[in-house]
Amino acid sequence: MARIAQQISATEQQRDELLVMKRSLKIERRYSQRAEVILLSLEGKTLDEIINKTGMSKPIVNKWRQRFRTKGIEGLRDAPRSGKPSVITAKQKATVIQKACEKPSGGYTNWSQKRIAKIVGISQSRVHQILKQADLKPHKIEYWCGKSPDPEFESKMINIVGLYMNPPQNAVVICVDEKTQIQALDRTQPILPLKEKAPKRLTATYKRNGTVALIAALAVHTGEITAKTMSSNNADNFLSFLKKLDRTYRNKTLHIIADNVPCIKIRR
């Protein structure tokens, strides 16, 4: 004969909270199982049906039913464990914060909670708690010097984005940038060509032949590139390159976008 579960009552608010606990993917599985036990009990299911549905034993099912009956939703949470809680000293907390705020050694670019925990001699979860309380996030990086102080930055940005998204008719949008101090290198010995059972080979040593500067322009909507090399870039060379672009795109209105230079519009 099926064992009848003792009746349990709950308010509408408690039912809603139990449903949230059961369906949530963010809480631990044991809490959703406990909520399911109570919901099945509220539906009038027998003990055997609850046990078969949840896979829990009879004592465990009765435990959470009784806890809910006496304490409500709060009774489904874990009770405080016995024993002396672990103590984190003020020195350990200060060391955790100090490590998180200083540059790591050993070639690392930033501290991980695991490495801090190993050095301080506490668990990684304790390190996480200390950093959270101190509002420190050593794993995150924010670039601060790239924000423009120009009060007209927003309007200029909108103009440039507009050129990308909706260029004017009979116009060419060009991005111009430069790369200076490119090393002109050459191998000290000729390259040995590829042959059967042997790959192409070259020496590990090289000689420097000076440096060269490259300036290039990308036509945004066609992908066409116009480039020029020079010994060094200056105002005269930049102007000469702009004239070259003007000759390349005859009878076109050019919108040229360059780093740290306002949008330049050249009409032939």
| Count of domains for the chain | 3
Residues 250 and 184 in one domain: yes
Q: Does residue 243 sit within a domain?
A: yes
Q: Does residue 68 sit within a domain?
A: yes
Q: Does residue 30 sit within a domain?
A: yes
For the stretch 54-107, pLDDT in tens is 888 989 999 999 999 888 888 888 877 666 666 788 888 889 998 888 888 888
| Rg from Cα positions in the chain | 35
Q: Does residue 125 sit within a domain?
A: yes
How confident is the model at residue 143, as a pLDDT?
67
Distance CA 18, CA 50 (A): 16
SS3 262: strand
Give the chain's count of helices (H) and strands (E): 9, 5
Domain that holds residue 40: 12-76
pLDDT, averaged across the chain: 84
Residues 18 and 72 in one domain: yes
Residues 30 and 64 in one domain: yes
Residues 207 and 252 in one domain: yes
Residues 16 and 120 in one domain: no
Residues 59 and 105 in one domain: no
Q: Does residue 195 sit within a domain?
A: no
pLDDT(258) > 80:
yes
